[in-house]
Amino acid sequence: MNAKNKNGAFPKKTCSIEKLVTIPEDVEKVIEGRKTATRRNGVYANIGEVMQLKNHQFRVEHIYPQYLGDMTDTDAQQEGYKSLKAYKQAILNIHPGMRWAPKMKVWVHEYVPLNQPISS
């Protein structure tokens, strides 16, 4: 277990892994390797759980909490955006009426691809 998962205590899942990445543009970013993490307001997967997107599989490697105010450009790039500013604007567009709250805690789900695409 690495430092990001050192406490091992996570809240119960609030949603299923199938809901972790659902926006078609994000699905393509994950498949192309341009998106390697997803932030959600709850835990959507357990470490080691496998997410299937189209004919590709991705294993959740790390889950950890983060405050929106602690995000960096590097974090936004994990999400498939060029900058934190671009990520923030995208999130606010996806969730009309949402305010960017620096003290809002989100759960970061980092994942890696598993070898080859699945045959249909």
Confidence of residue 115 (pLDDT cuts 50, 70, 90): confident
Question: What domains can you pick out in the chain, each with its CATH number?
Answer: 3-114 (3.10.400.10)
Phi-psi region of 75 (alpha: psi -120 to 50; beta: other; left: phi over 0): alpha
Confidence of residue 10 (pLDDT cuts 50, 70, 90): confident
Contact 68, 84 (CB under 8 A): no
Single pTM value for the model: 0.88
